[in-house]
Amino acid sequence: MSPHDTALFVRRSSAGITLILLYVDDMIITGDDSAGIRSLQQFLSQHFEMKDLGTLSYFLGLEVTSSSDGYYLSQAKYASDLLSKAGIIDNKTVSTPLEYNARLTPLDGEPISDATRYRQLVGSLIYLTVTRPDISHAVGMVSKFMDAPRSVHYAAVLRILRYVKGTLYHGLHYSSRSSLELYAYSDADWAGDPTDRCSITGFCFLLGTSLVSWRSKKQDVVSRSSTEAEYRALPTPLTSLFGFAGSWLTWMLRSPLPLLFIVTIVVLSTLLIMMSSTNAPSILRSTATSLASISRKEISSCSPSPLLTSLLISLPRLTRLVVFEILYPNSRWLLPCHLEFEGGC
């Protein structure tokens, strides 16, 4: 069983890898070990009554379309059934899942009589976000009012559904021609929650042109300015990638150390630029400390290569000194390279 997902089972051999994704009595078997897959199918069919449905095309509401260009994942049928369940049968659609600058609070509108229906619709929308990151933030907002939904919240749910109706076939495309370079993007909505004034961080990871992970999360503390909210949002993707044991992205990348250096350097460089134009040294120290603790944990068991050393040394001098001091406060292995590059000190 994989430590990254309790429903994922992995078998490795000299011939390749075999993966089983299991949910109750539905199963996906894949991998690059063709003989191992056939042997596994034969073994399972001897012990259980099974039916081979062939190439993957539908699984738990997810539609999978394959072509020479890659794979396309969508939930069009699931979304269509949800719209019928919600009673939305007209052709009225909207262009955005939420109104511009929408701010929902627990006291908006009047209490609704059928809270169960609200919870069912929101629960179904949550599952729809598996292939619809464009509605993740909106669904996250309406899901905060499951215990006591009100009329304004229900109207927001209906708007999301009308947006889904107009974008029924939207989904995720995983290109077979995409590069294996990982990109991370983050942003912050300052004071996005009107109830407690906490900002909301959003980030995503793309492997080449393919979106592989995304999240919208409320920050733990109140930021006093939009700049501070951006500072706090910067380390979040890095924490998601490297900060938790058993990160599936780390497992997928196998050797994340070069990426760790690059992401850390980019974040620290950005912070230095922002510090030069704003007066926020305490926030910078807080963010840098968070980055350092994450980085040291990952780097402590690794020996950086000369290539990575060269990458660090090629940075602007001020940025390089700050990065060295944060990541390696007690190391001396960088000193000869530093002196050689600078020509002495």
- Could you state, in order of their start, the residue ranges of all structural domains in the chain? 8-54, 74-171, 225-342
One DSSP character per residue, 223-276 reads -SSHHHHHHHHTHHHHHHHHSSTT-HHHHHHS--HHHHHHHHHHHHHHHHHHHH
Question: What token pair was written down for 286?
Answer: 């807080």
Q: What are the pLDDT digits (tens) for 90-129?
A: 889 999 999 988 889 999 999 999 899 999 999 999 999 9
Burial tier of 9 (Cβ tally within 10 Å: 0-12, 13-18, 19+): middle
Could you give the percent of the chain with pLDDT greater than 70? 68
In this prediction, residue 245 carries a pLDDT of 40
- Is the pLDDT reported for residue 272 higher than 70? no
Q: What are the pLDDT digits (tens) for 59-87?
A: 888 999 988 889 999 999 999 999 999 99
Q: Other C-beta atoms within 10 Å of 300: how many?
A: 7
When the pLDDT of each residue in the chain is averaged and rounded to a whole number, the result is 77
Whether the CB-CB separation of 62 and 75 falls below 8 Å is answered with yes
pTM, entire model: 0.70
**C-alpha–C-alpha distance, residues 285 and 322, integer Å:** 11
- Is the pLDDT reported for residue 1 higher than 80? no
